[in-house]
Amino acid sequence: MDLRKLRYFVAVAEELHFGRAAERLHIAQPVLSRQIRALEADLRAELFRRDRRSTELTPAGRQLLEDAPPLLASAQAARRRVAGAADAVARFGVGFMPGVRVGAAVRALTGRHPGLTVDVVRTYWDEQARIVLDGRVDVCFVRVPVDRRGLRLRTLFEEPRVAVLPADHRLAGKASVGIADLADEYLLQDPDAVPEWRDLPHHAEAPPGGPPRVETVEEKLEYVAARAGLVVLPLSAAAFHARDDVVRLPVHDIPPTRVQLAWSAARNTPLIEEFADLAGACYGS
């Protein structure tokens, strides 16, 4: 499959507009249209239904949109590995989520392989799977839930989750809280990170002006301090971002979260397997 055409397809599928997709790709719209038609001919399937007013994916298009990101990530990973193999220095990449300490496992690996350079790379919630699949790192310490497609996972440890609230919040003096105690507060994160939130009989809706635009933990904590809502974080992540204008309270009626080691299912190299064993030993798993 022509990867360039596949990238063009993803742009159109995400924009659902040929003009915007062409601008995003920095190519002329007629060129983009020809490439999509050529891809449809290659696959012998119609990928889009389009008229003068709208563009929408066909069932075949929806299937390709599901399959395309791993294919593109795999190609990018191959490029990175080939470039790395041409380097005179042997390298191994380890990704990690904030709050997760990876130094012990890295020291154990470099102790066995003195000539190996280990790069540690901080990642974020929406990147923790992609950073493995596109080859930026060989392994990553991830927090669940994580998209498991294309990955192998090994559970390393569990840790409790805490609610982060303003320091002067009415609940701030409690030893712990239940998830229902938080229902009147606005959740400043993707509910997929706190699936128990959806099970509440009711919970606060977004403010009248719409939800604040937040991506990083640091941004979320600024909104918490400003009394715009709350976040529920793994204890180590909350401790990593500790500050005096917010408090963290254990949530006693939700299960702990897990930290896992992730690597590409297509790459079971001896070095990856060795690092997985070392990480497991460091965390007693």
Phi and psi dihedrals of 92, rounded to 5? -145, 125
What per-residue confidence (pLDDT) applies to 167? 96
DSSP conformational letter for 216: S
Residue 88 tokens read as: 């005179």
Q: State which residues of the chain have pLDDT below 50.
A: none
Q: Which residues pair with 122 in a beta bridge?
A: 96
What per-residue confidence (pLDDT) applies to 213? 81
Number of Cβ within 10 Å of residue 126's Cβ equals 10
What per-residue confidence (pLDDT) applies to 258? 93
- Give whole-number Cα distances, 34 to 5, 38, 56, 58, 93, in Å: 10, 6, 17, 18, 39
What per-residue confidence (pLDDT) applies to 227? 93
Strand, helix or coil for residue 212: coil
Q: How far apart are CA 137 and CA 57, in angstroms?
A: 33
- pTM tops 0.75, yes or no: no
What per-residue confidence (pLDDT) applies to 89? 58
Please measure the distance between the N-terminal and C-terminal CA atoms of the chain and give it in whole angstroms. Answer: 41
Number of Cβ within 10 Å of residue 250's Cβ equals 15
